[in-house]
Amino acid sequence: MSTAELAPTGTTTPGPMDPALVHRLAALVTAAPGRPRQASHAPFDGALIGEVPACTAEDVAEAQRRARVAQADWAARSLAERRAVMLRYHDLVLERQEQVLDVTQAETGKARVSAFEELADVAMTARYYANTAARHLRPTRRQGALPLLTRTVQHHHPKGLVGVISPWNYPLTLAVSDAIPALLAGNGVVLKPDSQTPFTALMAVELLYEAGLPRDLFQVVTGAGSVLGTPLIEGVEYLMFTGSTATGRIIAEQCGRRLIGFSAELGGKNPMIVLADADLEKTVEGAVRACFANSGQLCISIERMYVEDAIYDRFVPAFVERVARMTLAAGTTWEAEMGSLVSRDQFDAVRAHVDDAVAKGARVLTGGRPRPDLGPLFYEPTVLEGVTEEMALCRDETFGPVVALTRVADAEEAIERANDTEYGLNASIWSSPRRGAEVATRIRTGTVNVNEAYAAAWASHDAPMGGMGNSGVGRRHGAEGILKYTEPQTVAVQRGLPIGPMPGLPLERYATVMTAGLKLLKRAPFLE
């Protein structure tokens, strides 16, 4: 069994966060004085980062009240004014990246390169929607009921107040990247970040205020989802959620009872297919990122890999050798390819999946062990072979640095196995570009990357991102990512002749004239 490399010599974990910064960020939370506090701890070494208020339903109601008052003024502002805020935000995120990356790493334990992926995504999202919101939101002419006589225009009005519940695995980008289009569309936002990573979310929001966003327009409440989730849903017109499928079902029921819209990116058991004509060297490197970016704690990372028989015996040794050479480290070094898991619960879940698989006959090709020498929550990147149906990780999402390899006869078997899941979030295909694109359309996932792990589809911000099956409802990114935060309104202006019977015209005669007109439109569709 080979093992991942130790941290580079001289690597140290980040020091404690500046108490002044901790105090300033915690003060951004909307909470009545005297609320109990909840602590955030660093995964690298367990040190206390700081405390934020444990908010109550009353705090949520106050946050919603403030945001509603601010939203009325914000919606009345020009789109150009709202756009300018987001372009300033884009610049601030990039300029302050060292501090933002430090805070993100301190709370998540992820490698710096993974934290940078988050930061880059925030900037890209702000730039994309700032530059395209006018196109997505502009009044649009639609085909009228009667050619030349009916002028029909579709408008988009803000929903009002949007709730965002964000997770711990990408606490920077998922705290604000879904909120950016909501804000550009004229809405107010109330954010409930995950309890494990409040300071990263607060850092992202503070930069929005600095960019010129009205302070009351974007409210943050911190605390347990079991306490704050229901009052948050009960006081908004739309909800955006990223998290587990089980929680997504509960949220869907609550939103359904209120007849409000919601969008949810949920779990995944994402497949990767390696076909015989894949470039071996590029595929090995791509597979490392696909499986182990962010320590595998990524909704769109790969947990199942199907390798065509003709390349299996060349690909697997090369992949295993490369995984064994991965650099694990705590701290702010850029050399680390993988960092820590985020919490003891997540560490225990990953370890339980691997131990269960091994006990039932799976073979560990590399990894499979905790690394307490690096930190309390480090677990080696792990490659398994011989995973079968009775093992928990065969179908259940592991959400950690573990991948199961399976040999398949050909592309047809790979496609069948890839689709044999209740999930449908992301997939990765490695082959020639043409063949890979053909295979991609047969995979039942919301996004498919050809000769890339996940970033090509995710970072194509003009295209929708989301899941099929049990992996989600709705989409982020693209036109859908902003229009979902609006209420479409149709305004039809009738000129000249009415659509209904004219005064004095017998009803039967009216029907005859309309019938002749409908037949004409069929023969002359250019009139419509």
Across the chain, how many H-helices and E-strands are there?
Answer: 18, 18
Question: Which residue out of 55, 291, 299, 394 is catalytically annotated?
Answer: 299
H or E element at residue 175: helix 173-176
Q: State the Cα–Cα distance between residues 454 and 460, nearest whole angstrom.
A: 10
Coil, strand, or helix at residue 308? strand
Tokens in use for 80?
Answer: 């150009």
Residue whose pair of structure tokens reads 């009325």 in the numeric block: 72
Verify whether residue 255 is a known catalytic residue.
no
Residues 40, 363: contact at Cβ < 8 Å?
no
Between the CA of residue 346 and those of 267, 367, 452, 505, what are the distances in Å?
15, 17, 27, 75
- Find all residues with CB under 8 Å of 230, minimum gap 6, and list them: 57, 254
Given 3-state DSSP classes, what are the helix, strand and coil percentages for the chain, each rounded to the nearest 5? 45, 20, 35
Helix segments in 302-410, DSSP class H = 309-324, 344-359
- Residue 468 DSSP class: S
Question: Which residue out of 107, 118, 265, 303 is catalytically annotated?
Answer: 265
Verify whether residue 394 is a known catalytic residue.
no
With vertex at residue 329, the alpha carbon angle to CA 327 and CA 333, rounded to the nearest 5 degrees, is 95
Between the CA of residue 183 and those of 69, 112, 178, 482, what are the distances in Å?
14, 29, 9, 9
Q: State the Cα–Cα distance between residues 286 and 528, nearest whole angstrom.
A: 50
119 CB-side CA count, 13 A: 25
Q: Among all residues, which ones are annotated catalytic?
A: 265, 299
